[in-house]
DNA sequence: TTGTATGCGTTATCAG
DNA sequence: CTGATAACGCATACAA
C-alpha cells in the first residue's frame, strides 16, 4: 500500500537523479558522473542521455550547490545601478551568467542618496555569494575591498579607482584613450586645451590625463596645468558645477576633455544653457561612450571601451577565481575613438 | 581519535543549526522553529538568541531553499537591460530583493540585436526561478507570457503592452499622464498639437493618447487625427526616424507629444541637427522621466512615474504570489508632470 | 568503470 | 511546546 503510494508519488513528482538511475539501470553516482562530464562507459553514457531526454530530467542547482558548498550566486557592487556606463557592463555580465546557471545579487552603495555598504558586508559575512564583482570602486570602498580580500572571497574589480592586489582587475587602456583624444584634438588644430577629470586620486583620471598630456606633448602642445581640474565625482552633476564655475569668467581654451561622458554631458547642458555653442566655441570630449552621448545634439565625441566584453571577462575571471584561486591578473582592453559632433576645428 | 578529529573539524567548520542546537541544549527542530518565528518557549528563545549571537551563526539559504523546494531566485525579463526606464525599475527591484535574501536572474530578450526568448523559456522549463517579473512585455512576448501562466509560475507584469489576466499588473496612470500633458500644453497656448506614440497596439500609447485627447477636448482643442502617428518601437531610433520624416516637408504643429522619453530624445536630436529650435519652433513632451531627459539642453518636459516604487511593488507582489497564489491584482500608480525647457508658449 | 554509503544544512511530520 | 527522524537532490570517498 505505502509502496504503491510512494510509487505513484514518484510518477507525479519531477524526476531526480535517482529516477534517471533507476530507468537507466545504473547507480545514482554514475548519473552524477555523467552529468558532470566524468568518466562513464560509452554504453552507460548513451543510455543515460536517452533516459534523461525521455524523462525531461533537469538537475536541481539548489541541491548541487548545497552539496558543493556553493551559493550559485555572485554579487555585483556599484555606486549606482543607474550609472550610465555600468548598464552596459551589466549586459555583459548577464550574458556570461546566463550560460552558467548562476544568479546575481545587485548592490548599489548609494541607493537612497547616501553611502551605505552594509548590504555588501552582509553578503560577505554571511557568505551569501560565491564571489563579487566590484565596479568602479573608489577610495571610500577601501574597507569593503579589504573585507573581500581578507575573507578570501573571490573578487574581480572593474575599473577600480585605486590599484589593488589580490584581486583580478579588468580595465581599459586609459593611456591609449588619452592619447587618441590628444591626436584627434591636435589634428583638428586645437592648441589651448583644458581637462576636467574625476577625482584626482582616481586611476582612470590619472591615466587618461597622462595619455592626453603625453600625446599632446608629442605634437608640441603643452597642457597648461592651470587648465587641469579635478572634480569631486564622475557624475553629471560635477560637470554641471564645473561648467557654472568656468562660465563665470571669460575662458581661453577651445577644447575641453572631461574625465568621462557623464561629466561631459553635464558640462554641455550648462554650457548650452548659457548660450555657449558646441563645438563652435568649444569642443568637448568624453570617455566611455555611453549610449546617451549619441542621443543628443551635438553628439558627444568620446572614447569607446568594449564595455560589454569587459563585463563578460570580469565574469569569466570571477568563475576562474572561484573554481581555482590562483594568480591574480590584470586585463587591459583596447579603446576606440568615436568622433561625433561635439568636436570641430577651433573657430579662430 | 576519530572523535577528536571530528570535534576539531566541527570547531573549524562554520556553525550549523546542529551546532546551535547542541550549544543551547535543544533539538535542531527547535532551532529551526525559532529561526522561522514559530512557537518556542520564552526560555529557549532567549537561550537560542544568545547562542546564535555568540557562535556567529548564519543560516544556509541554499539548504533552506532545497528543503522548501524553492530556488531563492527571481527572474526579471526586459527587452534590453539598457532601456533607460528599466534601470530605475531595477533599482527598486534590487532594493526590495535585498531585504529578502533572494537573488536575481536577468534576461534581455534582445541581447545581441535580435529577439531571442530562449533563455527565459529555459528558466521556465527548468524551474530555475521562483517567479518572474516581465517588464514592458510586448505583443511578441505573448507566447512567453502564456508559458509562464500555463506553468503556474508566479508572474508580475510591469507596464505590459497588452492587457493580461492571471498575472499581477503594475503600471502608471497613463490617462492622467496624458491629461496632465494636455493641460500643460493648453495652458501654454498650443492649439496645433501632434502625437507620436509607440506601437499602435500598445496599451501605454493608447491610454496616453486617450488622456491627451480627452484633456485637449475639455479645453476645446481638437487633436487632428492626421497629426497622430504610431512608431514601430519605443526606442530612440524610432524617434529619429520620425523626425527625419517630419522634417522633409513643412509642418504645422507647434507641439509634439511623444510616446515616451526615448522617442522624444531621438526626435530632438534630429530636429536640432536640422536646425529646428526647441522649444521656440516646437515644444516637445515625453513620458517616463528618465534621468537623461534632465541631462541635455533643453531639458525634456515629461511625465514622471514613481518608477522605483513600482519596482519595489512589483517585487512585493511577486513574493505574495509565490507564497500564496491568490487573486491577481492591478496596481496603478499616480504620475507627475515635470516641466523643463523643451516646452514653451508657441511663437506666434 | 561502477555501486554503496554518507554528507550538505534545513524544514516538516508526527509522536511524545 | 519539544524531540527524533525522514525528506530535499546531488556529489564524492571508498570499496568492489
Using a CB-CB distance cutoff of 8 angstroms, which residues of chain A are in contact with residue B97?
A: 105-106
Q: What residue ranges do the domains of chain A occupy?
A: 3-59, 72-170+308-329, 174-306
Taking CB atoms and an 8 Å cutoff, what residues of chain B touch A17?
none
Residues from chain B contacting residue A60 (CB–CB below 8 Å):
66
- The pLDDT, as a whole number, for residue B10 is 45
Question: What is this structure's pTM?
Answer: 0.92
Query: In Å, what is the separation between the CA of A67 and the C1' of D15?
Result: 22
Which pLDDT band holds residue A1 (cuts at 50, 70, 90)? very low
Q: Which pLDDT belongs to residue A348?
A: 62
Which residues in window 29-48 of B are less than 7 A from strand D by Cβ?
Answer: 29-30, 33, 39-41, 43-44
CB contact under 8 A, A66 and B66: yes
Closest residue, CA to C1' of D6: B67
Q: How many CB atoms lie within 10 A of CB A9?
A: 9
Calculate the average pLDDT of chain A. 91
pLDDT in tens, B152-162: 899 999 999 88
**With an 8 Å Cβ cutoff, are B273 and A297 in contact?**
yes
Series of mean pLDDT values for 10-residue runs along chain B (348 residues): 42 79 91 90 90 91 92 94 90 90 91 84 88 93 91 94 88 97 98 96 96 97 96 95 95 96 97 96 97 94 97 95 86 98 91
Evaluate whether A321 touches A157 at the Cβ level (below 8 Å): no
CA triple B337-B343-B346, angle to 5 deg: 135
Instruction: Kindly determine whether residue A292 and residue B292, on different chains, have CB atoms separated by under 8 Å.
Output: yes
Q: What is the least distance, in Å, from the CA of A279 to any CA of chain B?
A: 13
Percent of chain A exceeding pLDDT 90 equals 76
CATH architecture of structural domain B174-306: 3-Layer(aba) Sandwich (3.40)
At residue A38's C-alpha, the angle toward residues A36 and A43, to 5°, is 105
Q: If one looks up domain A72-170+308-329 in CATH, what number appears? A: 3.40.50.2300
Q: How confident is the model at residue A101 (pLDDT cuts 50, 70, 90)?
A: confident
**C-alpha cell, A147:** 573585507
Gap between the Cα atoms of A91 and A93, Å rounded? 5
A22 touches strand D (CB under 7 A): no
D9 C1' – B245 CA distance, angstroms? 60
Strand pairing category for A302-304 and B73-78: unpaired
Q: What is the reported pLDDT for B340?
A: 98
The number of beta carbons lying within 10 Å of the beta carbon of residue A218 is 12
A41 CB inside 7 Å of strand D: no
Interatomic distance B320 CA / C15 C1' (Å): 33
For strand D, the positions having any atom within 7 A of a protein Cβ are 1-5, 7-13
Instruction: Pick B103's closest partner by Cβ from A90, A105, A292.
Output: A105
In this complex, the answer to whether residue A33 has its CB under 7 A from any atom of chain D, a nucleic strand, is: yes
Q: Which three cell numbers stand for residue B257?
A: 507629444
pLDDT at A166: 84
A3-59 is classed in which CATH architecture? Orthogonal Bundle (1.10)
**The pLDDT value given to residue A11:** 47
Nearest CA-CA distance, residue B92 and chain A, Å: 9
Q: What does the pLDDT read at residue A326? A: 77
- Distance from residue A38 (CA) to nucleotide C3 (C1'), in Å? 16
Q: Which residues of A177-190 are buried (b: 16+ CB within 10 A; e: fewer)?
A: bbbbbbbbbbebeb
Distance B71 CA to D13 C1' (A): 28
pLDDT, position B13: 65
Question: Grid cell 550560460 — which residue?
Answer: A99
| A269 with B66: Cβ contact below 8 A | no
| Greater pLDDT, A324 or B6 | A324
DSSP B278-345: TTTT-EEE-SB--GGGGTSSSPPBEEE--HHHHHHHHHHHHHHHHH------EEEE--EEE--TT---
CA distance B217 to A152: 66
The two beta strands, B193-197 and A193-197, are: unpaired
Q: Which of B104, B172, B150 has its CA nearest to residue B318?
A: B104
Q: Does the distance separating the beta carbons of A98 and B119 come in below 8 Å?
A: yes
Q: How far is A272 from chain B (nearest CA, A)?
A: 6
CB contact under 8 A, A95 and B111: yes
Q: Is B304 left (phi over 0), alpha (psi -120 to 50) or beta?
A: beta
Count of CB contacts below 8 A, A vs B? 121
Protein contacts on strand C: list nucleotides below 7 Å from a Cβ. 1-5, 7-13
How far apart are alpha carbons A121 and A114 in whole angstroms?
A: 16
Nearest residue for C8, CA–C1':
A67
For an interface test with A, give the residue of B76, B99, B278, B297 to mutate (most A CBs within 10 A). B297
**CB-CB under 8 Å, B62 with A71:** yes
Amino acid at each position: 500500500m505505502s509502496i504503491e503510494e510512494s510509487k505513484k508519488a514518484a510518477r507525479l513528482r519531477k524526476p531526480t537523479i535517482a529516477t534517471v538511475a533507476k530507468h537507466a539501470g545504473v547507480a545514482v553516482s554514475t548519473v552524477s558522473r555523467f552529468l558532470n562530464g566524468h568518466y562513464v562507459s560509452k554504453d552507460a553514457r548513451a543510455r543515460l542521455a536517452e533516459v534523461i531526454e525521455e524523462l525531461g530530467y533537469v538537475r536541481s542547482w539548489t541541491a548541487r550547490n548545497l552539496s558543493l558548498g556553493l551559493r550559485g550566486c555572485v554579487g555585483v557592487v556599484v555606486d549606482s545601478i543607474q550609472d550610465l556606463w555600468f548598464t552596459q557592463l551589466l549586459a555583459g555580465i548577464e550574458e556570461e551568467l546566463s550560460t552558467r546557471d548562476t544568479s546575481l545579487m545587485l548592490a548599489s552603495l548609494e541607493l537612497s542618496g547616501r553611502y551605505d555598504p552594509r548590504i555588501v558586508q552582509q553578503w560577505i559575512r554571511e557568505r551569501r555569494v560565491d564571489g563579487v564583482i566590484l565596479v568602479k570602486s573608489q577610495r571610500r570602498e577601501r574597507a569593503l575591498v579589504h573585507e573581500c580580500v581578507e575573507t578570501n572571497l573571490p573578487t574581480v574589480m572593474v575599473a577600480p579607482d585605486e590599484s589593488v592586489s589580490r584581486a583580478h582587475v579588468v580595465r581599459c587602456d586609459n593611456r591609449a584613450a588619452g592619447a587618441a583624444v590628444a591626436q584627434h584634438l591636435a589634428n583638428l588644430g586645437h592648441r589651448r586645451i583644458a581637462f576636467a577629470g574625476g577625482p584626482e586620486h582616481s586611476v582612470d583620471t590619472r591615466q587618461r590625463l597622462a595619455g592626453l598630456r603625453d600625446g599632446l606633448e608629442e605634437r608640441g602642445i603643452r597642457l597648461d596645468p592651470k587648465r587641469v581640474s579635478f572634480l569631486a565625482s564622475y557624475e553629471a552633476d560635477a560637470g554641471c558645477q564645473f561648467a557654472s564655475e568656468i562660465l563665470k569668467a571669460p575662458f581661453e581654451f577651445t577644447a575641453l576633455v572631461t574625465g568621462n561622458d557623464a561629466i561631459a554631458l553635464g558640462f554641455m547642458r550648462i554650457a548650452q544653457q548659457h548660450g555657449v555653442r558646441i563645438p563652435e566655441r568649444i569642443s568637448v570630449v568624453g570617455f566611455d561612450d555611453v549610449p546617451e552621448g549619441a542621443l543628443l545634439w551635438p553628439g558627444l565625441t568620446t572614447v569607446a571601451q568594449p564595455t560589454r566584453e569587459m563585463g563578460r571577462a570580469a565574469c569569466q575571471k570571477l568563475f576562474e577565481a572561484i573554481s581555482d584561486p590562483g594568480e591574480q591578473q590584470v586585463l587591459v582592453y583596447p579603446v576606440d575613438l568615436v568622433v561625433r559632433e561635439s568636436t570641430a576645428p577651433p573657430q579662430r
